[in-house]
């Protein structure tokens, strides 16, 4: 497969028979690249409002933004500054800053008790940008539901019941991330020392949703070549992560991607993405339907929390174990 296809999530949900099967087939074929474009019902107004408030936050002075760092959260909530996250395959930090948020669970909930840095209180810059917490919480919940719906298409394509992913993503450790990529001319040595907006990597989660960004820059690896990926109007990009690759025994590969400034582009870029995670105690055993004599089992079982913690270390987000200074 050498082409990222366009599908329609709403057609899957509103159709039966051949039209529904066509969406499932399109997703299955497109995800051989690790990517697919899908139509959706996300409000443009909600996305525009979120971007406006996020821009207001990121334009604040560094000392103000630093008040919203969440110590020992490993980048799972709050602000992460420039030159911190580093692609696992690189020793040069990405040229970006981030704001991260998810969902808190009540005190005493077993998930919060066992995984406090996944489900603790969210650190959002409400004091600096009044009203932002409500907007970003609504945004998170809306995209999370969109991803859960899209996972039903993937489940059906695997031969599972469409609700296969519902249980594992209910109270999952799903994370939404707003990213500001400053102009490359502002990077150390003007970017000549190897800094890029985001180095080549795969995501650790099940799937990632990428609504429209404010500028091009996303590139995806397809058949060994980097291809520009810009979702058509009214669509979002879905890419696959390592946990889905493990669950499907490699039938669905991890989508490898990077973010680089286009030749001649001198501005900054904003993007908001969401990583759909299962609950941390989910056991990522390869599905029986994905194991055949021609496709023997490639992966052992692994607990979701352990897989995530390993990647957080590799990408330089564990505060007490930075491999890149």
From first to last of the 325 residues of the chain, give the pLDDT tens digit: 578 999 999 999 999 999 999 999 999 999 999 999 999 898 999 999 999 999 999 999 999 999 999 998 999 999 999 999 999 989 899 999 999 999 999 999 999 999 988 898 999 999 999 999 999 999 999 999 999 999 999 999 999 999 999 999 999 999 999 999 999 999 988 777 778 899 999 999 999 999 999 999 999 999 899 999 988 888 999 999 999 999 999 999 999 999 999 888 999 999 999 999 999 999 999 999 999 999 999 999 999 999 999 999 999 999 888 888 7
State the Cα–Cα distance between residues 146 and 142, nearest whole angstrom: 6
Angle at 176 between CA 95 and CA 184, to 5 degrees: 15
Residues near 287 by Cβ (< 8 Å), separated by ≥ 6?
Answer: 158, 160, 247, 248, 249
CA dihedral 159, 160, 161, 167 (to 10 degrees): -160
Helix (H, G, I), strand (E, B) or coil at 151: helix
For 316, residues 6+ apart whose C-beta sits below 8 A from its C-beta are: 84, 85, 86, 93, 322, 323, 324
Give 11-31 as a DSSP string.
Answer: HHHH--HHHHHHHHHHHHHHT
What predicted TM-score, i.e. pTM, was given to this entire model? 0.95
Q: How far is residue 182's CA from residue 265's CA, in Å, rounded to a whole number?
A: 11
- Supply 184's token pair: 């490359």
d(CA 278, CA 275): 10
Residue 75: CB partners within 8 Å, gap ≥ 6? 84, 85, 98, 100, 312, 317
pLDDT value, residue 84 = 95
Q: What are phi and psi of 275, to 5 degrees?
A: -100, 115
CB atoms within 10 A of CB 185: 10
- Residue 33: CB partners within 8 Å, gap ≥ 6? 1, 2, 3, 4, 220, 222, 255
What pLDDT score does 322 carry?
86
Domain 6-321 adopts which CATH fold? Jelly Rolls (2.60.120)
pLDDT score, position 1: 58
d(CA 228, CA 213): 13
Closest CA to 96 of 315, 263, 256: 315
């Amino acid at each position: 497969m050498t082409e990222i296809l366009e599908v329609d999530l709403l057609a899957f949900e509103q159709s039966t028979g051949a039209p529904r099967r066509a969406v499932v087939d399109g997703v299955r074929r497109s995800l051989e690249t690790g990517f697919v474009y899908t139509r959706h019902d996300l409000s443009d107004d909600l996305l525009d409002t979120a971007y406006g408030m996020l821009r207001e936050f990121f334009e604040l002075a560094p000392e103000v933004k630093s008040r919203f760092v969440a110590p020992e959260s490993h980048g799972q909530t709050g602000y992460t500054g420039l030159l911190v996250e580093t692609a696992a395959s690189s020793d040069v930090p990405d040229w970006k800053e981030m704001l991260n948020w998810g969902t808190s669970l009540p005190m005493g909930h077993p998930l919060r008790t066992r995984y406090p840095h996944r489900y603790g209180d969210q650190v959002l810059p409400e004091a600096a940008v009044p009203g932002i917490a409500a907007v970003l919480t609504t945004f998170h919940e809306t995209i999370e539901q969109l991803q859960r719906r899209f996972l039903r298409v993937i489940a059906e394509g695997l031969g599972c019941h469409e609700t296969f992913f519902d249980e594992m993503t209910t109270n999952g450790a799903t994370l939404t991330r707003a990213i500001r990529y400053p102009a490359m001319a502002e990077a150390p040595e003007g970017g000549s020392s190897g800094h890029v907006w985001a180095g080549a990597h795969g995501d650790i989660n099940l799937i990632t949703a990428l609504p429209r960004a404010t500028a091009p820059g996303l590139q995806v690896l397809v058949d060994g070549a980097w291809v520009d990926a810009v979702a058509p109007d009214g669509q979002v990009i879905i890419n696959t992560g390592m946990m889905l690759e493990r669950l499907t025994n490699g039938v669905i590969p991890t989508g490898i991607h990077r973010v680089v400034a286009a030749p001649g582009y001198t501005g900054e870029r904003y993007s908001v993405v969401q990583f759909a995670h299962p609950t941390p105690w989910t056991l990522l055993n390869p599905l029986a339907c994905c194991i055949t004599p021609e496709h023997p089992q490639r992966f052992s079982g692994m607990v979701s929390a352990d897989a995530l913690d390993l990647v957080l270390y590799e990408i330089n987000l564990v505060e007490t174990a930075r491999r890149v200074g």
